[in-house]
C-alpha cells in the first residue's frame, strides 16, 4: 500500500466517487437508496445538518417544500443511513423513529411548506413579503396562499368580491365574513389583510397564466383533427403562447369543450393547490373530482367534492406513473386526455409536454353491444381494462 502521508484517512477518500447534483433539486421525489448513492441532494444535506445541529425532531412548520413532508422525511432517513457510521454519528435510532412518527401524524391539511393561517406570525408574513423580489414571485406567493386557503374567502376589496365563494364549495371552514369569525384582533386583522392581498395577487397571476394559451380551445381542437395532439406552451417562449397546437391544463377543462359534470384525474405527482387553481381558472369550481395519485403534497383533504386515493404499487420499486384524465359531461358524453406531465406547476411551466385530447365520445344507448363505439385500435376496450385493474370502488 502506498504511503501518501495521509495516515488512516487515505483508504476512506482515495476511491470516493464525486457525485453530481440531482437535476430535480428540491423537487426530487425519489426514495430509492441507489438514487441517493449516485446523486447529491444539497438541500437535504443542509436540512440534515440543521437537524443534527439543533436537535429538531420534526420538520419546521414554516419550511417551504416542493414535495410532501413524508417524502422529505423518508429521504432524510435514507441519506442518514447511507452516511458512514464511523466518525460523526449523524443520528440515533431513537431520533430517527421520533422523526418518522412525527411525519406520519403531522396534520398536512394545508399546502406543504406553507404555515397554517392560525399559527402564522406577522414576522413570518413580513419575511415572505420581503423575499418576493420579483412580480412573478409575488404572484406565485399569492396563488400559493390561495391554494392553501382554497376553502377560505377574502375579506375586503372590490377585486375579490367576485371570488368570495369557496374555491371548491361546501367548505367546513369558517369564512371571514361569517358570524362565527374571530373578532378583529390585531393578529386577525393582519391575517385578513394578507388574505386579501394574496387573493388580489392570485387574480393577477391567473390573468397572466391565461395569456400563455391564446385562442379558442374549440377551434384549436377542430384544427388538430384527426390526431388531436398538442404541446404545452412554454412560459418563457412567448411565440408558443399563440401557436395553434399549444395548450395549457386549464384549456383541457374549458367549458367550451362541454358542460363538465365530474372528472377523473390519474397521475403520479400532484400539487393539490395548483390543480385546484386550474379548475378555478377554467371556472369549474365545486365540480366532483376523483383523484388517483402516487405522490401528493397534501394529506387529510377536507374538500367534499374531491375523492383522493393514494395508489400503492404492488412492487416496492414501482411507482404510479400514469398521467391522464377522463372528463364526463352532463349530456352523458366523455372525453379522454392522455399527457406526459405531472400535475405540478413546474411540469406545465417551462417544460414541453405532450397532450392528446380525444374527440367527444357521445353516450351509447343502454342496450348497445359492448363492442359498439370501439376504435380501430381497441382503445375503448383497453381503457376499460386498465381502469378495472385498479380494483377501486371509487372507479
Same domain, 384 and 341: yes
In a domain, 115, yes or no: no
In a domain, 395, yes or no: no
Q: Could you read off the pLDDT tens digit of each residue along the chain, which spans 395 residues? A: 444 444 444 445 445 567 889 988 888 878 878 889 889 999 999 888 888 888 777 777 778 888 777 788 888 888 988 887 544 443 444 344 444 434 444 344 333 333 333 334 444 444 444 444 444 444 444 444 544 444 333 333 333 333 333 333 333 333 334 434 445 556 766 777 766 666 677 677 677 778 888 889 999 999 999 999 999 999 999 999 999 999 999 999 999 999 999 999 999 999 998 999 899 999 999 999 999 999 888 877 889 999 999 998 888 778 889 999 999 999 999 999 999 999 998 899 889 999 999 999 999 998 888 889 999 999 999 999 999 999 999 99
Same domain, 237 and 380: yes
In a domain, 285, yes or no: yes
Distance of CA 221 to the CA centre of its chain: 26
In a domain, 147, yes or no: yes
In a domain, 7, yes or no: no
Same domain, 200 and 222: no
Q: Using an 8 Å Cβ cutoff, are 267 and 289 in contact?
A: no
Residue 200 has a CB neighbour count (10 Å cut-off) of 18
How far CA 8 is from CA of 2, 85, 87, 158, 205, in Å, comes to 12, 16, 12, 71, 58
Cα–Cα dist 184/243, whole Å: 49
Indicate the Cα dihedral angle 254, 258, 259, 261, nearest 10°. Answer: -90
Count how many domains the chain has.
3
CA atoms within 13 A on the CB side of 391: 4
Residue 230: beta bridge partners? 355
Q: Which of 49, 75, 105 is the last residue of a domain?
A: 105
Cα–Cα dist 5/196, whole Å: 65
Closest CA to 273 of 372, 171, 168: 168
**149-177 per-residue burial string, b: 16 or more CB within 10 A, e: under 16:** bbbbbbbeeeebeebeebbbeebeeebbe
In a domain, 257, yes or no: yes
Binding residues for substrate: 323
In a domain, 5, yes or no: no
Three-class DSSP category at 151:
coil
Closest CA to 176 of 159, 189, 162: 189
**Helical residues (DSSP H) of 149-215, grouped into ranges:** 186-210
Domain region containing 23 = 13-105
Any idea which residues carry the catalytic annotation? Answer: 321
Which single residue is written with the C-alpha cell 394574496?
198
Binding residues: 323
| pLDDT score for 379 | 95
Same domain, 203 and 223: no
Same domain, 303 and 170: no
Same domain, 95 and 29: yes
Indicate the Cα dihedral angle 372, 375, 377, 378, nearest 10°. Answer: -30
Closest CA to 210 of 167, 254, 244, 168: 254
Same domain, 172 and 233: no
Cα–Cα dist 78/126, whole Å: 35
C-alpha cell at 91: 443520528
Same domain, 174 and 246: no
Q: Using an 8 Å Cβ cutoff, are 320 and 270 in contact?
A: no
Residues whose CB falls within 8 Å of the CB of residue 149, separated by 6 or more in sequence, listed in order: 117, 195, 198
Same domain, 200 and 228: no
Same domain, 297 and 354: yes
In a domain, 133, yes or no: yes
Closest CA to 41 of 71, 67, 79, 88: 79
Residue 117 has a CB neighbour count (10 Å cut-off) of 16
C-alpha cell at 249: 391544463
What is the length of the chain? 395
Q: Using an 8 Å Cβ cutoff, are 51 and 59 in contact?
A: no
Cα–Cα dist 154/389, whole Å: 43
Q: Which of 56, 76, 105 is the last residue of a domain?
A: 105
Q: Which of 210, 237, 266 is the last residue of a domain?
A: 210
Q: Using an 8 Å Cβ cutoff, are 211 and 251 in contact?
A: no
How far CA 389 is from CA of 15, 220, 385, in Å, comes to 47, 34, 6
DSSP states of 7-34: GGGHHHHTTPPPPEEPTTGGG-----HH
Instruction: Read off the CATH number of the domain in which 357 is found.
Output: 3.30.870.10
Q: Using an 8 Å Cβ cutoff, are 323 and 275 in contact?
A: no
| pLDDT score for 184 | 53
Cα–Cα dist 45/26, whole Å: 11
Same domain, 329 and 347: yes
| pLDDT score for 51 | 81
Same domain, 134 and 66: no
Q: Using an 8 Å Cβ cutoff, are 138 and 179 in contact?
A: no
Beta pairing, strands 246-247 & 20-21:
unpaired
For the chain, the C-alpha Rg in angstroms (whole number) is 24
Amino acid at each position: 500500500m502506498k504511503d501518501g502521508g495521509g495516515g488512516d484517512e487515505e483508504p476512506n477518500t482515495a476511491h470516493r466517487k464525486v457525485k453530481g447534483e440531482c437535476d430535480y433539486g428540491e423537487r426530487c421525489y425519489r426514495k430509492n437508496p441507489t438514487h441517493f448513492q449516485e446523486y447529491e441532494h444539497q438541500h437535504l444535506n443542509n436540512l440534515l445538518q440543521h437537524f443534527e445541529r439543533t436537535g429538531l425532531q420534526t420538520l419546521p412548520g414554516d419550511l417551504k417544500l416542493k414535495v410532501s413532508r413524508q417524502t422529505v422525511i423518508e429521504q432524510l432517513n435514507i441519506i442518514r443511513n447511507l452516511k458512514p457510521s464511523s466518525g460523526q454519528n449523524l443520528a440515533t435510532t431513537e431520533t430517527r423513529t421520533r422523526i418518522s412518527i412525527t411525519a406520519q401524524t403531522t396534520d398536512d391539511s394545508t399546502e406543504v411548506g406553507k404555515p397554517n393561517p392560525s399559527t402564522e406570525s406577522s414576522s413570518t408574513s413580513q419575511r415572505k413579503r420581503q423575499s418576493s423580489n420579483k412580480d412573478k414571485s409575488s404572484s406565485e406567493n399569492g396563488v400559493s396562499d390561495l391554494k392553501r386557503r382554497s376553502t377560505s374567502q377574502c375579506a375586503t376589496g372590490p377585486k375579490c368580491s367576485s371570488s368570495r365563494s369557496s374555491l371548491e364549495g361546501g367548505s367546513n371552514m369558517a369564512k371571514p365574513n361569517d358570524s362565527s369569525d374571530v373578532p378583529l384582533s390585531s393578529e386577525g386583522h393582519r391575517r385578513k389583510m394578507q388574505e386579501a392581498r394574496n387573493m388580489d395577487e392570485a387574480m393577477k397571476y391567473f390573468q397572466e397564466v391565461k395569456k400563455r394559451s391564446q385562442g379558442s380551445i374549440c377551434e384549436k381542437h377542430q384544427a388538430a383533427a384527426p390526431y388531436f395532439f398538442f404541446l404545452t406552451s412554454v412560459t418563457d417562449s412567448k411565440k408558443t403562447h399563440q401557436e395553434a397546437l399549444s395548450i395549457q391544463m386549464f384549456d383541457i377543462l374549458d367549458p367550451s369543450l362541454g358542460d363538465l359534470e365530474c372528472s377523473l384525474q390519474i397521475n403520479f405527482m400532484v400539487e393539490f393547490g395548483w390543480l385546484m387553481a386550474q379548475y378555478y381558472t377554467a371556472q369549474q369550481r365545486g365540480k366532483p373530482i376523483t383523484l388517483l395519485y402516487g405522490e401528493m403534497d397534501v394529506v387529510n383533504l377536507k374538500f367534499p367534492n374531491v375523492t383522493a386515493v393514494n395508489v400503492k404499487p404492488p412492487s416496492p420499486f414501482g411507482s404510479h406513473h400514469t398521467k391522464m384524465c377522463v372528463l364526463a359531461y352532463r349530456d352523458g358524453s366523455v372525453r379522454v386526455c392522455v399527457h406526459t406531465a405531472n400535475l405540478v406547476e413546474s411540469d406545465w411551466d417551462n417544460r414541453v409536454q405532450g397532450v392528446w385530447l380525444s374527440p367527444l365520445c357521445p353516450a351509447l344507448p343502454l342496450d348497445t353491444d359492448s363492442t359498439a363505439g370501439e376504435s380501430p385500435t381497441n382503445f375503448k376496450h383497453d381503457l376499460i381494462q386498465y381502469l378495472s385493474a385498479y380494483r377501486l370502488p371509487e372507479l
